[in-house]
Amino acid sequence: MVKQRLEGKVVLVMGAGSSGPGWSNGKAAAVLYAREGAVVYAVDRDLDAARETADLIAAEGGQGIALRADVTRSGDIEAVVASVMERSQRIDVLHNNVGITEMGDPVEASEESWHRVIDTNLTGVFLACKHVLPVMLEQKAGAIINISSLASIQVNHYPYTSYYAAKGGLNQLTKAMAVHYAPHGIRVNAVLPGVMDTPLIYKQISGQFQDVEAMRAKRNAASPMGRMGTAWDVAHAALFLASDEAAYITGVCLPVDGGKSCAGR
């Protein structure tokens, strides 16, 4: 029997719920980690969404535990880490998936919107790492996967100024932590999804278009492959980076984009 890639590992997925029906990046990653033998702690601000993911894992015979936390609140994350340590005594993989988009250039966007996007997309990762890294330092091992975005290296004509800034900052945070913690056996990498077909786009992006099909057509056409990617494309990339197969890979910002990053805007 082939050994599962994360057998015996404990994985903490921040943002493991879904913002709507279907497979979000966080939900797919959590389920895939469990399929590969990990004990998965599915964390979301919406506890019901986290429970849905944990229930999917359990239905497949895996081990999934739902927990609630707002990633912008340090105390919430500290409590989650304490709960995981009480139950499992270790954290092998931290998967940071929480992200939001809000439109607005520096003139149009409110200060509240700017802080909300930066706090959710960037500060939330900082806080998760702040509380998990001491555990990994004690273990002398660990892998952190940050879900960034192709928007971190490409800008289109939509004014997602705060989102571009947050995701660009996340790439640099990933690289900085990778270099700093490499001597301690901790790897830190990022995945940069391109145009993806996930529940989030129907909730936060579709309003820019006359109808949903127009949005889908434009996003499909934006990829050299002629189609959007799925949450499973992101999940499989994250699984590789979390696994021992990527033992000599750290500080990488990996586009999962159907070639869009090679084709310009």
Q: What is the side-by-side order of every strand in the sheet holding 253-256?
A: 63-68, 39-44, 10-14, 93-96, 142-147, 186-193, 253-256
- Identity at 118, one-letter amino acid code: I
Tokens standing for residue 101? 């988009």
Query: Taking a C-beta distance cutoff of 8 angstroms, is the pair 144, 94 a contact?
Result: yes
Concerning whether 163 is annotated as a catalytic residue, the answer is yes
Rounded to the nearest 10°, the torsion over CA 200, 205, 209, 211 is 20
Return the closest-CA partner of residue 212 out of 10, 20, 43, 16: 20
Residue at 160: amino acid letter: Y
Which one from 160, 163, 164, 181 is the annotated catalytic residue? 163
Would you please indicate which residues are annotated as catalytic (active-site) residues? Answer: 163
